[in-house]
Amino acid sequence: MDILVIVNGEYGRRHLANIRKYAPLSWQIETWDAPRAFPLVIDYPEDFLPSELPKADLILSFTEHKGAVELLPDLARMTGAQAVLASIDNEAWLPRGLARQLHGWLEKIGVACVTPKPLCSLTEQDYGVTTRQRTAYDNPFIAEFACYFGQPELQIEVDAEKRVITEVFVKRDAVCGCARHVAQHLIGIPIDEAEEKAGLLHHHYPCLASMEKDSDFGDTLMHISGNILKDNVRQQIKPYLKDFYITPGERVE
C-alpha cells in the first residue's frame, strides 16, 4: 500500500514517526509538509500545492489548520488516491461543517473518506462521530491501515494468583503510539490498579487531542480518547476483578 501523510506541526509528526516505526514493511510511506498559514478564503488552491507528489492509495491528513483540509480533494487528484483519512482531534483544525463538505467533495470524485473523532476511534469497519454515533465505511485501504493503527486493542495476560499483569501485547496501537506506551508500563501493575494506571499513562504520554469541551461528546476529546483505552483495559481485566458487597447493618447510636 502506498501512503501519503500530510503534516504541518508536531501533532502530525508524532503520528508519522510512530507509523514509520511500526508499519508493515510492504507499506510505502511518503510525506508532505503542508503550509502552516492560510488565508480565510483559498481562492487559488494551486498557490499552496506542491508541484508534484508521489502516487498514493491512501492519504492520511494529520494537519493543524482547516486550510490544509480544503486542499485534500486536489491532493487526491494529484496522487490518484482512492481514500482519505482526515483526523479530528481538535475541532479548530477540522470543524464538523468542513468535515461534511470534505465528504461531499471527495464523494464527487469517487474517493472514500473517513473523519474519525477522535482519531483513536477508528476500526476496520467504522469510526466515532459522537457519543452514541459511529459511522461505517467500506474501503480496503483504510481498513488495512486500521488493522494496525486506530482504536487501541490490547491483549493482557494476568497472573491470577499474584493478581498482577504479566504481559501486554499490542494488537492495534493508537496512531500516535500512546497504546504501546501504556502497554509497556502496565506490566507488573496489580490488576485492581490497572484501569486507573492506564488513564494516567494515557494523559502523561501525552495525548495531543483537544482539551476544549466538545459539544458532540459533552467532554474533551482527550478524555474521550483516554476512556476508549481504559474501556479496553477494563474488558481485559474484568474476569479477575473481585466484587465487593456492602451488607446493611443496624445503626449504632
- Check pLDDT > 70 for residue 242: yes
Over residues 59-78, mean pLDDT: 96
Q: What is the reported pLDDT for 94?
A: 96
Residue 132 has pLDDT above 70, yes or no: yes
Q: Which pLDDT tens digit goes with each residue over 140-189?
A: 999 999 999 999 999 999 999 999 999 999 999 999 999 999 999 999 99
Q: Which of the four pLDDT bands, split at 50, 70 and 90, describes residue 249? A: low
Q: Is the pLDDT of residue 247 over 90?
A: no
Report the percentage of the chain scoring pLDDT > 90: 85
**pLDDT band at residue 245 using 50, 70 and 90 as cut-offs:** very low
Where are the chain's structural domains?
2-148, 153-240
**Residue 246 banded pLDDT, cuts 50, 70, 90:** low
Structure confidence at residue 24 (pLDDT) = 97
Instruction: Say what the pLDDT of residue 105 is.
Output: 97
Sign of the CA dihedral running 151, 172, 232, 9: negative
Mean pLDDT calculated for residue range 207-212: 93
Ranges of beta strands (E only) in the chain are 2-7, 28-33, 58-62, 83-86, 112-114, 126-128, 134-136, 153-159, 164-172, 213-214, 219-220
The per-residue DSSP string of 154-220 comes to: EEEEEETTTTEEEEEEEEEB-TTSHHHHHHHHHTT-BGGGHHHHHHHHHHHTT--S--SEETTTTEE
Kindly state the average pLDDT of the residues 44-61: 91
- Express each pLDDT in 75-111 by its tens digit: 999 999 999 999 999 999 999 999 999 999 999 999 9
Q: Which of 145-159, 191-205, 238-252 has the lowest mean pLDDT?
A: 238-252
Share of the chain above pLDDT 70, in %: 96
Q: Average pLDDT, stretch 216-230? A: 95
* Four-way CATH pick for 153-240: 3.90.1010, 3.40.30, 3.40.50, 2.30.230: 3.90.1010
Out of 1.20.1090.10, 3.40.50.720, 3.40.50.300, 3.40.47.10, which CATH number does the structure's domain 2-148 have?
Answer: 3.40.50.720
Considering just the CA atoms, what is the radius of gyration of the chain in Å? 21
Per-residue pLDDT tens for 13-48? 999 999 999 999 999 999 999 998 888 878 778 888
Average pLDDT of the chain to the nearest whole number: 93
